[in-house]
Amino acid sequence: MTPHVYPEGCFFNSINDIKDKHITVMGLGLNGGGEASVRFLLNHGAFVTVTDMKTEAQLKPTIDRLASDKTLDTSKLTYVLGEHRIEDFSNADCVIKNPGVKISGNKYLSAAKAIETDISLFLKFTKAKIIAVTGSKGKSSTVSAIYYGLREAGFEVFLGGNITVSPLTFLEETSEKSTVVLELSSWQLADLRGRKLLKPYISLITKIVPDHQNWYENMGDYVADKRLIYADQGPEDFTIVDYDGDAVGTGPSCGGTWGDLFAKETKAEVLRYSQIDLNSRAKGTCGAWWHFDEDNVFSGRVLLPTWDKPKTVLSKLKVPGNHMRANTLNAALVMSLMGVEPEKTESILAAWTGIPHRLQYFHTYKSDNGNQYKFYNDSCATVPEAAAAASQAFGKPVIFITGGTDKGLAFDILSETLNYKKSQSTKVESLWLLAGTGTDKLTALLDSGGVKYNGPYSSLDDLFASLKVELDNTENKPATDIVVFSPGATSFGMFANEFDRGNKFMDGVKNTF
């Protein structure tokens, strides 16, 4: 697939250029990105047409928020909902594109004179220092830990991007003294190709695994968009990439690992992260790694180019699981590059409690038999690898709920993890499945491996009703048990998105248990 390349720069030379322009926002949505664009454009005097294939009823929460805001000149706002019209694109001075819309073969976008996104507008106008994070697993946890760590260390810091906060919401609060942490999806990065607007001081690529293969033709195309994060960095910047190997069959077609490929391509100074001591395996390689003492107690070590020896930056954590350990250590590495002292980094990140929808503890239930169950919401686990990691995060058997809509991914790693006899993983105490096309792929693998499960259930209510019967009738539980909801798939069909799914899961648990 030949990727689309945008003209260099931005359609608007200055914020003042927005005034009186006719701008079409393609995709209002419910997660804030389209709404933020509308607010920003109206506040700067544009005539705004909002077009979305969703209906007015479906978009009512967003429409109501805009209508009730008396600071907005809504006389300049027009809605075209439930359809797209060519004239709204061809007559506009500029179109603001939703990153979830493919540009290839799109007749509406083809008619546009110019195309921008909320990210391209932000990068054009902000003077803040940028820390940009992409990858397949752990992006949101990593940016959230970085944001929390820098904020607690006294930085003027903002967080936005794919984490559902458009950076346009805080653009005018930023200055040369600010630091902005951006989570960038492959789609958001693709919309920056050719623009030369993204020049982060620090770029970080989390672990690469197959994802969005219902969108991309192959892994190479998917990762090509990820590589844009460092495309315009220079030798004064830093690129942080993986040192460890990729899963079998998921690495570059040219051989080697994704981390090695990224390290060779970037013009920035390279740092690596690993679960194994970099100092012993690749002496002189700077970055972050896991360390265990003789009592098997974990700590995170960092070596920077300006340091003469590694230093401990991470120890006790409140967030569970090896994947959260990896994400938090990467945050510690970024904090170190930003000049935070190791002892301060260690103290700050020890207090971080994680973020919503990512192994989020939210409820305890005492059953009729006096047993105690703690519920965790991991709804933002949208790939099988993330669900597999969640099933093992607590180091003990858990009651595990998974399943959802397929997005062209293989479920082998999740089925193998759940098949403890085959993988030597920690056995799940009981397995519960929520229906979906991804679940259909998973059940075929579970059946062939002889793994028992409950369901699939067509709704959360049905699943909760059956689960409650089991919890209330289980005798002689020795200690607090753990219930984890980690779908490993998308949510379309049953829920609006993974955040809606997580909220409905938590509300349903609280109402049932």
Each residue's pLDDT tens digit in the chain (513 positions)? Answer: 689 999 999 999 999 999 999 999 999 977 677 999 999 999 999 999 999 999 999 898 889 999 999 999 999 999 999 999 999 999 999 999 988 888 989 999 999 999 999 999 999 999 999 999 999 888 999 999 999 999 999 999 999 998 878 999 999 999 999 999 999 999 999 999 999 999 999 999 999 886 555 556 678 888 999 999 999 999 999 999 999 988 877 888 888 899 999 999 999 999 999 999 998 877 789 999 999 998 999 999 999 999 999 999 999 898 888 888 999 999 999 999 999 999 999 999 999 988 888 888 899 999 888 889 999 999 989 989 889 989 998 888 999 999 999 888 889 999 999 998 777 788 999 999 999 999 999 999 999 999 999 999 999 999 999 999 999 988 766 567 999 999 999 887 889 888 899 999 999 999 999
C-alpha closest to that of 345 among 310, 314, 389, 377: 314
Q: Is 170 helix (H, G, I), strand (E, B) or coil?
A: coil
Distance between terminal CA atoms of the chain? 49
Distances (CA, A) of 497 to 380, 409, 494: 9, 18, 9
How far apart are the C-alpha atoms of 190 and 228, rounded to whole Å?
A: 7
pLDDT at 146: 98
Distances (CA, A) of 83 to 266, 330, 342, 386, 471: 42, 43, 54, 36, 47
pLDDT at 352: 93
Domains recognised in the chain with CATH numbers: 15-116 (3.40.50.720), 120-350 (3.40.1190.10), 360-512 (3.90.190.20)
Backbone angles phi, psi at 147, to 5 degrees: -60, -50
pLDDT at 421: 78
pLDDT at 411: 94
The tally of CA atoms less than 13 A away on the side-chain side of residue 420 is: 13
pLDDT at 268: 98
- Name, in order, each residue with C-beta under 8 angstroms of 249's C-beta and a sequence gap of 6 or more: none
pLDDT at 360: 87
Q: Dig out the tokens for 424 from the structure.
A: 């030597």
DSSP state of 70: T
- Name, in order, each residue with C-beta under 8 angstroms of 187's C-beta and a sequence gap of 6 or more: 99, 100, 215, 225
pLDDT at 422: 74
DSSP state of 425: P
Instruction: Give buried/exposed letters for 350-363 (b at 16+ CB in 10 A, else e).
Output: eebebbebbbbeee
| Strand ordering across the sheet containing 360-366 | 360-366, 372-377, 481-485, 399-402, 430-434, 454-457
3-state helix, strand, coil in the chain (%, to 5): 35, 20, 45
Q: Dig out the tokens for 269 from the structure.
A: 């100074």
Q: Dig out the tokens for 280 from the structure.
A: 């012993």
pLDDT at 499: 87
Using CA atoms in the order 248, 250, 255, 258, what is the torsion angle rounded to 10 degrees? -120
The tally of CA atoms less than 13 A away on the side-chain side of residue 53 is: 4
pLDDT at 175: 97
